[in-house]
Chain A
Amino acid sequence: KAGVTQTPRYLIKTRGQQVTLSCSPISGHRSVSWYQQTPGQGLQFLFEYFSETQRNKGNFPGRFSGRQFSNSRSEMNVSTLELGDSALYLCASSLGDSTEAFFGQGTRLTVV
């Protein structure tokens, strides 16, 4: 059974640009959550999608957005990139409510 797949694995962007990251959940999983991991702030929750609807949102500015498609694949977008957005962005999928979340390997974003 394939795990959570995130693409691309690495990305380098310039300040002010925007970026889109992709996440394919485990087959059959309908919930996708996104997290940001940095050395300073640790792992922080961004948002969660279930059946194409955002159910939960973390404390991040509006430059961070996401969406989920009918096949449960999800994308997150960051606009007007800042140096501080450099981080490992992780996606986790789960079957639904009250089920465990499984993480992908992440996308390493570097903003220069």
Chain B
Amino acid sequence: GENVEQHPSTLSVQEGDSAVIKCTYSDSASNYFPWYKQELGKGPQLIIDIRSNVGEKKDQRIAVTLNKTAKHFSLHITETQPEDSAVYFCAFGGFQKLVFGTGTRLLVSP
């Protein structure tokens, strides 16, 4: 079945450092790759997404890269801040039927 591997499961960085989370997916037909941030007690929040006709997309301190040949996509957060601490999920598939990764717990220490 469709699945996506997400690494690392936990990531600890110092404030100001960069953080990178990587995902590998199984279904080559997918054309939508969103990233969600989930804080404690809240639902997942869409932070950035990329579609298959684009290789990279940036939004301020956040960027996502996509390599469709290798079936890899990555989330890059620069100049991390304590408020970036949360669980991050990659996903792929249809817009309304997403397959989620297992999540990365990011901890940013002041």
Contacts and interface: CB of A to CB of B under 8 A. Distances in A.
Nearest to B99: A45
A72 to B, nearest CB: 13
B42 interface: yes
Contacts of A33: 96-98
Contacts of A97: 95-96
A100 B103 contact: no
A55 B96 CA distance: 9
Nearest to A93: B96
B46 A102 contact: yes
Interface in B82-106: 89, 91, 94-103
B36 to A, nearest CB: 8
B100 A43 contact: yes
Interface in B14-48: 32, 34, 36, 41-46
Contacts, number: 59
A68 interface: no
A19 to B, nearest CB: 19
Nearest to B102: A42
Contacts of B98: 33, 35, 43, 45, 101
A31 B41 CA distance: 24
Interface centre among B32, B44, B99 (most CB of A within 10 A): B44
A42 B1 CA distance: 15
Contacts of A4: 43
A64 to B, nearest CB: 15
Interface centre among A33, A97, A101 (most CB of B within 10 A): A101
Interface centre among A4, A90, A92, A104 (most CB of B within 10 A): A92
A26 B99 CA distance: 22
Interface of A: 4, 31, 33, 35, 42-45, 48, 50, 55-56, 58-59, 90, 92, 94, 97-106
